[in-house]
Structure 1
Amino acid sequence: MIIKNSFFYKSIAVCLFTAMLFACEGNLKDVKEMEKDFLEPQSKVYELNLFYTDSGSVKANLRSPEMLDYSNREFPFREFPQGIELDFFEIDSSKNTITSDYAIQYLETGLIDLRKNVKIVTSDSTILTGPQLYWDQQQEWLFTDYKYNLQLSNGARNEGEGFDADQKFTTFNSRSNTGIQYIPD
């Protein structure tokens, strides 16, 4: 009798263990589905036309065909897979424009990664082009390790590889360059 009870209890234990294994398989599929949803953007915005104002005056205007918001990630970011066009307005209403075919904004660091056909046109007609450019919003600083072309408003030209500069181009440090500079007498 003791042997039969022992066998009976062991059989029940094996059946419960087997059932738990199959139950875990179903839960694993549910967990993978939830993870898949987490990898998707939190929101999608189409035909974005965003104005940033301060004290009643427009400071910036951001336009993009599509924005994907991944604020739900551990390292949150916003992606602009079809590019951006961003206008900055100075106190005197002058406008600086940045365009690129792709952009990603890292929310915690304030860093914006602009890629593919990056072009900056300042209010004084300075034009900078290149394949990639980083913009640190907090430090108001631009930098890249890629090739760039710079045409200043006075006609001077500069081609090089790698630079860093403040966002108004009053300080411009190039790692290597060639070009034509006009120096007043």
Structure 2
Amino acid sequence: MRQKSNFIFFIKPISAIGLILVFLASCKNSSKEINDFLADKNLPVGVAENMNHVYKDSGKVTSRLIAPVFWDFKNRKLNPYSEFPKGVKIVNINRVSRDSVTILGDYAISYEKTRVSEIIGHVVVINHLNGVILNTDQMYWDQKEKYYFTKSPFTIYTETDTLTGVGFESESNLSNWILNNTQGDFIVNQKEK
């Protein structure tokens, strides 16, 4: 009968460091070559899971991005982008007006050069200060202009109204709407002059 033998190998720390250095020195590919290879194979240069990214300006939190999966395709020469294939939640915070807006969607892609993002699938935008909620299936967000727009059907809920239509534009805090093909019951306030 044969007995099984278990072998345990221990590598001294100095030997391990030497082994790693030899391995790294043998790599001849530059980071540009690696990025080009990944781009040719349509692979991301970076991947993150359970992402929770906080953006700050002058030490104050301005937004938070939460995503189960993040793919970084910034290795694309013509149009670098970031992709959120399993959905995204973005919370924008305006400390001056005490306003915050939450954006939710099943999928998102954000283009680095244009700073325009496309959010697709069960898109919900909520202004927590005034209680306005926008629902649509697809929306674009221009981060430079701080502007939302869609040509898809939408529904807007306010404290008193429900509006539906096809085609919507507004500032990123869901104010100053431009609504197309709108229907619904709503109250119009008239100011006397």
- Place the TM-score, normalised by the shorter chain, in its bin: 0.7 to 0.9
- Bigger mean CA offset, 102-111 vs 171-180: 171-180
Q: Contact 2:87/2:105 (CA < 8 Å) preserved in 1? A: yes
Q: Contact 1:64/1:80 (CA < 8 Å) preserved in 2? A: yes
Higher helix share: 1
1:35 deviation in Å? 6.6
Match of 2:89 in 1: 85
Match of 1:181 in 2: 186
Percent identity over the alignment is: 26
Q: Post-superposition, which runs of at least 4 consecutive aligned residues in structure 1 deviate over 2 A?
A: 33-38, 92-95
SS of 1:103's partner is: strand
How many matched pairs?
152
Kindly indicate whether residue 128 of structure 2 is the aligned counterpart of residue 125 of structure 1. no
Distance in 2 separating the partners of 1:178 and 1:139: 28
1:36 deviation in Å? 6.9
1:170 deviation in Å? 2.4
Match of 1:23 in 2: none
Match of 1:168 in 2: 173
Letter of the structure 2 residue corresponding to residue 178 of structure 1: Q
SS of 1:146's partner is: strand
Larger of the two Rg values belongs to structure: 1
SS of 2:113's partner is: coil
TM-score normalized by the length of structure 1? 0.77
TM-score normalized by the length of structure 2? 0.74
Q: Relative to 1, partners in 2 of residues 1:127 and 1:36: Cα closer, same or farther, differing over 3 Å?
A: closer
Distance in 1 separating the partners of 2:41 and 2:52: 26
Q: What stretches of structure 2 of length at least 5 have no aligned partner?
A: 1-35
SS of 2:89's partner is: strand
Letter of the structure 1 residue corresponding to residue 88 of structure 2: I
Q: What stretches of structure 1 of length at least 5 have no aligned partner?
A: 1-32
